[in-house]
Structure 1
């Protein structure tokens, strides 16, 4: 008998539907006005179904942000082949741009910026750890192949992420008639390339 195990698609995770409902709520009314009850209503399930998955809104938001930013990062980063400073700069610049244009991210920054502060001032989040892991692995491989400068890969990766934070969250404060977004983005790319070049 032939096995059909590999021919069947994986069952969709119902939690994704709940996270989609939470995302829609936050886009519509913001974080402060989103409740687990409203998420359940939009998802078409009971409140207890949502409460069994998440004890409170911060726990749900953490999973939502991890899914959103993780998907965004992995969709932007293509480091196939030998890692180079230019390739890493392209990937980081694309990620920064994608974050600035992400509707959930911009909605949170506009309405509830305090949700971002813990990840800037107190601790790293799961999405930041994902980014750091990707960067450190690429830097390590680049060093092995001689395409990137020597140094502690984890420290270099963390420094690059710290620099990128400003370009994601504060770039708009540096724009005026003398400097536009394209000029700043070009400087970010230059900063990354020169930081990594042997």
Structure 2
């Protein structure tokens, strides 16, 4: 029998386990039993915190997507204004999201999992990204590099732009055409963001 661990890393161990399961078989074929076995915890431990696999996957997506977004933000460099950092980070973030194995698996196998967050409501990861963006935009307002405005509204609008490129870019690209490949569209995204944010 697998020993049951009780420490502060149980949550991460469970999310790591559900990530491994989803990457192996997709969301629909992942069970709480599989996750518990892989994480080395009891099923009851999971049920106390997550009622079903979808809620587990929701927490996993929040962890992974926020990590991608924060990891894509470049470090502040001397002489670089906030707008440049935001634009660089957002374009790098779109590339990182599209290359992320979990994102690719969900899009390929379980795309309906993303629909509620596109059509009906904001998820926890979107709320976290809006908060990060709003903070960065306020810094840009302060240093004069970003057009002044309602930071929360600007953050939501920018996320709408970035989200559409992340989710739908492959529907618009022709990778064998240098004028219509993903690199060319990411250059367009950079231009859109620059024009949107420039005072």
TM-score, length basis structure 2: 0.88
On the 8 A contact 1:83/1:139 being kept in 2, the answer is no
Gaps of 5+ in 1: 1-10
Deviation at 1:108, TM superposition (A): 0.5
On the 8 A contact 1:69/1:127 being kept in 2, the answer is yes
Gaps of 5+ in 2: 1-6
Number of positions where the alignment pairs a residue of Structure 1 with one of Structure 2: 188
Correspondence list, 1:54-69, <5 A: 54-69=50-65
C-alpha spacing 1:94/1:127, structure 2 compared with 1 (3 Å): same
Partner of 2:183: 182
Runs of 4+ in structure 1 displaced over 3 angstroms?
Answer: 78-83
Deviation at 1:104, TM superposition (A): 0.5
On the 8 A contact 1:132/1:154 being kept in 2, the answer is yes
User: Per-residue CA shift, 1:92-143, capped at 9, x if unaligned?
Assistant: 0011111000000110111000100111111111111111111111111211
Structure 2 Cα separation of the partners of residues 115 and 30 of structure 1: 11
Partner of 2:114: 116
On the 8 A contact 1:79/1:88 being kept in 2, the answer is no
Structure 1 Cα separation of the partners of residues 64 and 125 of structure 2: 9
| CA-based RMSD | 1.6
Correspondence list, 1:148-187, <5 A: 148-176=146-174, 177=177, 178-187=179-188
Higher relative contact order (CA 8 A, sep 6+): 1
Partner of 1:195: 196
